[in-house]
């Protein structure tokens, strides 16, 4: 009876799928943009009231809590979708960079104050 | 020399956590930059990677601590609806109103983007480990993200310091 032996591949040389990294990178963009959007939406009084999870902190408590939960949720969903898969990192990074830029613009007072009702 | 509880927390938020993040940035950025095959030996990679993993995770943790302590401790008395609160003081004078309407409003919001990006950078270093040496694209992405994180934190830190000077918490 012949014995078949498998060649052991050193862990460091085995290729790593790009999916988990792509998930994290895109989640950063989605999280930043989503959080920024919440900052803009909180200029509406009804939304500001709903976002006031802490009276002392005010609407910022909800903007940041829901924003960060959005970031983590996006990461969890993408990580689950792309686990073990190969994903185009270049495309993902370009999209994420645009979303991060949007998040920064949305959190800039001259921009988000435009959303305040007259 | 009296340091109140709120002074102590404000110092912890800005001069400890915030300052640590800003100061550690250069070291970690240099670590990411220098993790190139032409610059390091196998032994060098092992040594640098340990520091990089520790550095990026510590910075991510410190970024979270900075924004959480800032939002839930000194921000509360800052925005209290009393005439003596720093917010009320700044808004009472047209010459100082922009410190709040622009400075504080920008600082309190943009700061939260820093820990998002810092956490993802720490994850990328953890996920790729030694392979980061051969992944130039990922290293570049990590460096750009880390720089954006630093800029967001720096804006928040700068306005925090200037606002505290214009209207200190009492």
Give me the mean pLDDT over the B152-160 stretch: 95
Q: Which of B72, B113, B123 sits opposite A107 (nearest CB)?
A: B113
B152 token code pair: 């967001």
A8 vs A80 pLDDT, higher one:
A80
A116 vs A100 pLDDT, higher one:
A100
Question: Rounded to whole angstroms, how far apart are CA atoms B146 and B46?
Answer: 22
pLDDT of residue A26: 98
Q: Does the structure show a pLDDT above 50 at A3?
A: no
Q: Is B85 left (phi over 0), alpha (psi -120 to 50) or beta?
A: beta
Provide, as residue numbers in chain A, all residues whose Cβ is less than 8 Å from the Cβ of B123: 21, 24
Indicate the pTM of the whole model.
Answer: 0.91
Q: Which of A57, A63, A89 sits opposite B76 (nearest CB)?
A: A57
pLDDT digits (tens, 9 = 90+) for B119-149: 999 999 999 999 999 999 999 999 999 999 9
**B88-121 b/e (C-beta count within 10 Å ≥ 16 → b):** bbbbeeeebeebbeebbbbbbbbbbbbbbbbbbb
Band (pLDDT 50/70/90 cuts) for residue B38 is confident
pLDDT of residue A1: 45
Q: Which of A67, A93, A107 sits opposite B141 (nearest CB)?
A: A93
Provide, as residue numbers in chain B, all residues whose Cβ is less than 8 Å from the Cβ of A104: 110, 113, 148, 152
Average pLDDT, chain A: 90
Q: Which of A12, A104, A109 sits opposite B102 (nearest CB)?
A: A109
pLDDT of residue B46: 85
Provide, as residue numbers in chain A, all residues whose Cβ is less than 8 Å from the Cβ of B106: 107-109
Q: Does the structure show a pLDDT above 60 at A56?
A: yes
pLDDT of residue A96: 98
Read off φ and ψ for residue A57, nearest 5 degrees: -85, -30
Give me the mean pLDDT over the A81-88 stretch: 96
**Residue A111: is it exposed, middle or buried by C-beta count within 10 angstroms (0-12/13-18/19+)?**
middle
Instruction: Kindly determine whether residue B106 and residue A109, on different chains, have CB atoms separated by under 8 Å.
Output: yes
Band (pLDDT 50/70/90 cuts) for residue B47 is confident
Q: Does the structure show a pLDDT above 70 at A4?
A: no
Q: How far is B88 from chain A (nearest CA, A)?
A: 15
ipTM of the complex: 0.92
Q: Does the structure show a pLDDT above 90 at B13?
A: yes
Average pLDDT, chain B: 93
A27 touches chain B (CB under 8 A): yes
pLDDT of residue A13: 59
Provide, as residue numbers in chain A, all residues whose Cβ is less than 8 Å from the Cβ of B110: 104, 107-108
pLDDT digits (tens, 9 = 90+) for B64-95: 999 999 999 999 999 999 999 999 999 999 99
A54: helix, coil or strand?
Answer: strand
Give me the mean pLDDT over the B98-114 stretch: 97
Provide, as residue numbers in chain B, all residues whose Cβ is less than 8 Å from the Cβ of A61: 71-72
Instruction: Kindly determine whether residue A25 and residue B144, on different chains, have CB atoms separated by under 8 Å.
Output: no
pLDDT of residue B40: 78
Instruction: Kindly determine whether residue A93 and residue B117, on different chains, have CB atoms separated by under 8 Å.
Output: no
pLDDT of residue A12: 53
What's the maximum distance between 2 C-alpha atoms anywhere in chain A?
86
Band (pLDDT 50/70/90 cuts) for residue A78 is very high
Q: Which of A28, A61, A107 sits opposite B120 (nearest CB)?
A: A28
């Amino acid at each position: 009876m012949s014995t078949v032996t498998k060649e052991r591949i050193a862990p460091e040389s085995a290729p790593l799928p790009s999916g988990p990294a792509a998930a994290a990178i895109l989640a950063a963009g989605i999280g930043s943009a989503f959080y920024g959007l919440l900052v803009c939406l909180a200029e509406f009084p009804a939304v500001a009231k709903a976002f006031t999870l802490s009276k002392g902190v005010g609407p910022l408590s909800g903007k940041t809590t829901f924003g960060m939960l959005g970031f983590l949720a996006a990461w969890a969903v993408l990580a689950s979708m792309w686990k073990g898969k190969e994903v185009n990192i270049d495309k993902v990074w370009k999209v994420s960079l645009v979303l991060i830029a949007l998040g920064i613009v949305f959190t800039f007072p001259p921009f988000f104050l435009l959303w305040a009702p007259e | 020399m009296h340091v109140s509880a709120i002074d102590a927390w404000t110092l912890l938020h800005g001069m400890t956590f915030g300052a640590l993040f800003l100061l550690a940035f250069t070291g970690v950025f240099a670590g990411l930059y220098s993790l190139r095959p032409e610059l390091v030996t196998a032994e060098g990679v092992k040594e640098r990677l340990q520091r990089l993993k520790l550095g990026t995770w510590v910075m991510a943790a410190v970024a979270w601590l900075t924004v959480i302590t800032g939002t839930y401790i000194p921000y509360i008395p800052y925005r209290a609806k009393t005439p003596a609160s720093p917010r009320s003081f700044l808004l009472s004078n047209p010459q100082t109103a922009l410190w709040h309407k622009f400075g504080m409003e920008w600082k309190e919001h943009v700061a939260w983007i820093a820990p998002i990006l810092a956490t993802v950078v720490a994850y990328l270093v953890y996920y790729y480990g030694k392979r980061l040496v051969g992944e130039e694209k990922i290293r570049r992405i990590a460096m750009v993200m880390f720089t954006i994180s630093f800029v967001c934190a720096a804006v928040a830190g700068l306005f925090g310091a200037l606002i505290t000077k214009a209207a200190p918490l009492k």
